[in-house]
Structure 1
């Protein structure tokens, strides 16, 4: 045991991190994220930022585990206004965090329903310097607090004079700007799925079900190097489809059908999110024209997807193409969104969202239209916003819908 301690004392931090956590980035990446969050916290007058949800815990700490699938134990990460983070976690996870760059790791013997880390968390928060008496939490848009509501109320009462407020802007303002390393993972996931989509016409045929075609696609994606395929939706119908979010079904593809498959695959947790449409046999001319219209709408949005453009302007540019093309309605609600460690992130390309594009953002451009009752065509590409212009991360779909012969 003494020799082990001497070895760990001697071991460089980078090698120690390899023992504790298999990080997708060097520790400097996480230190930079925390520093940027602390800058935001000063603007919002926060003494601390309390992170509980899996994506944000992973973003700031580097910790990744399928153990998140168990809801029994909450996990907490405290980002103070200054200095290193404090992890307050169940004992089962403490060995992965202790000794890492984070700073301090506190733990309790969980599960312990009577006090699932609330006392320990309270003591850690009250031990921080108090300047504003405000602690931020994930209360805002597209945010989730991962702890029982009863425990949240206990925490609020225990903190007494310290107010719990919405700290989500501090998180999203940081997460919106991707590092080159983050973009590289998104690009890799896009490439893997693009390759798999390119192979689909070689094995997909009329007479197969959506589920059979999607299963073969999933195999190609995993064999291509993706770490996981958390999201895959599919829909089909004669000349189009009426929804785009269901799992692949047992519906059998027929002559004249259009099949859409929307994929969110990950590399080190970072998503691609795009779809492709395939026609089978003799596809109605109206569907083919609608496909060309949404391709043109994508092109119109990409031309202005540069720093300084509002996402509401992206929406308008797409609608200016879709409406003259015969769009009956947009039943999706938006025409694209942010992308990264989650399948969908802010902003939403829609009226009223005036988020300004900035260098480093990664977004989807996703025009869709119902061109006839119950018949939609939707298209999606992934784009990196740079000062030199938009860089498409997906392999651009052809303007003409690929049609698989009978």
Structure 2
């Protein structure tokens, strides 16, 4: 599914209209008159508004999805021109930053009619959400619309975002293809003696040359026979004979992430590392095969855990063995014993088994897939069935 030609950037107005209509149908069943959203990906999902300006914490951004019609933007004036290029028509702005009134008056004016009728809106309150505005501003807003009731709309928004459209899957397949192309270059661009920090830098450059918009997430490790963690920034450790090198990357293209890793041995590989890789490869295969509509995330977790137990009986201490993927590096759901989320066709997931072995070592293997009606489809180019050796 890795096309040589990049998909068209952005989405059609029809895509956003369909997302909004689906949300409004779910809102109606919950008795909600609107959704007040302020997180980057939630705003982007309903509007297409995409900017690196989210890196600045200075200004809040708000979207109100009403029970009928298009969403309403309440945003700083600096973002008005970009927002107008999208499909929204009602864009209300203020000169920000304005610490004494950062959009609160505009929000109060918007929500007051609902407050007077004691109606109920949805806000994101659940896991993997956070209040993207000062708590003091939220308290002032609620005091100004004291009759308004709020309910948790996390399940509505996350549920919509879990199941991808064909256009979203096309973008995800494209960025996974870029990541696969960058990983394929590693044996040619990495070598013994190269400092790990240079390995990271070289990989980022390769990913950008392969077509990534950005490489915001590159982590990994290298050490004799394996590594001890999977989230480290680089150090100056030079690659040495007998090291196992792991690189894990989240590249982006048009606002969508890939998220997968690869492992290599430097010149030679221990029998223990070979075995760990083999177990994880087969655990990954079990997870891919279990990723069918009707199964749950727990089913995926158990399918992988049963294979991992051949070498590691810790029971998944790392917490989960994969997750959702989309506009965020990690999204809901989680492949874990606690997650009974039912898999649906067109969910995009990471399959990420890990195990511990030896003296404090670990290994992780990760692929990206899309759930289909019969058999899951790989978006990444499948890793080699045996641990590759560089040099």
After TM superposition, the score normalised by the length of structure 2 is 0.95
Corresponding position of 1:302: 288
Contact 1:45 1:132 in 2 (8 A): no
| Residue 330 (structure 1) shift | 3.4
| Residue 129 (structure 1) shift | 9.0
| Residue 95 (structure 1) shift | 2.4
Corresponding position of 2:4: none
Tell me which of 255, 260, 266 is aligned to 1:280.
266
Corresponding position of 1:16: none
SS of 1:92's equivalent in the other structure is: helix
Corresponding position of 1:15: none
Corresponding position of 1:378: 364
SS of 2:357's equivalent in the other structure is: strand
| Residue 94 (structure 1) shift | 1.7
CA distance in 2, matches of 1:23, 1:127: 38
| Residue 76 (structure 1) shift | 0.5
Tell me which of 54, 60, 64 is aligned to 2:46.
60
Q: Aligned runs of 1:218-229 on 2, under 5 Å?
A: 218-229=204-215
Corresponding position of 1:290: 276
Residues 1:113 and 2:61 aligned together: no
Q: Aligned runs of 1:195-234 on 2, under 5 Å?
A: 195-234=181-220
- Superposed CA deviations along residues 72-108 of structure 1, whole A, max 9, x for unmatched, are 1111100011111110111121222247422311111
CA distance in 2, matches of 1:130, 1:99: 34
Q: What runs of 5+ residues in structure 1 fail to find an aligned partner? A: 1-21
SS of 2:78's equivalent in the other structure is: coil
Which consecutive aligned stretches of 4+ in structure 1 deviate over 4 angstroms post-superposition?
A: 128-132
CA distance in 1, matches of 2:81, 2:280: 51
Contact 1:327 1:371 in 2 (8 A): no
Q: Aligned runs of 1:128-207 on 2, under 5 Å?
A: 128=114, 133-207=119-193
SS of 1:93's equivalent in the other structure is: helix
Q: Aligned runs of 1:96-111 on 2, under 5 Å?
A: 96-98=82-84, 100-111=86-97
CA distance in 2, matches of 1:91, 1:305: 45
Residues 1:398 and 2:374 aligned together: no
CA distance in 2, matches of 1:204, 1:131: 65
Corresponding position of 2:343: 357
CA distance in 1, matches of 2:182, 2:69: 45
SS of 2:320's equivalent in the other structure is: coil
| Residue 164 (structure 1) shift | 2.4
- Superposed CA deviations along residues 329-377 of structure 1, whole A, max 9, x for unmatched, are 6342100000000000011101120001001100000000001231101
CA distance in 1, matches of 2:59, 2:268: 54
Tell me which of 247, 266, 276 is aligned to 2:252.
266
Q: Select between 124-133 and 69-78 the one with higher mean Cα deviation.
A: 124-133
Contact 1:312 1:349 in 2 (8 A): yes
Q: What runs of 5+ residues in structure 2 fail to find an aligned partner? A: 1-7
Contact 2:115 2:146 in 1 (8 A): no
SS of 1:103's equivalent in the other structure is: coil
| Residue 125 (structure 1) shift | 1.6
CA distance in 2, matches of 1:316, 1:67: 41
**What count of residue pairs does the alignment treat as equivalent?**
384
Corresponding position of 1:239: 225
Q: Specify whether residues 43 and 339 from structure 1 end up closer, same or farther in structure 2 by C-alpha distance, changes over 3 A only.
A: same
Corresponding position of 2:238: 252
| Residue 212 (structure 1) shift | 1.1
CA distance in 1, matches of 2:9, 2:209: 23
Corresponding position of 2:355: 369
Contact 2:115 2:147 in 1 (8 A): no
Contact 1:330 1:370 in 2 (8 A): no
CA distance in 2, matches of 1:42, 1:139: 19
Q: Select between 142-151 and 96-105 the one with higher mean Cα deviation.
A: 96-105
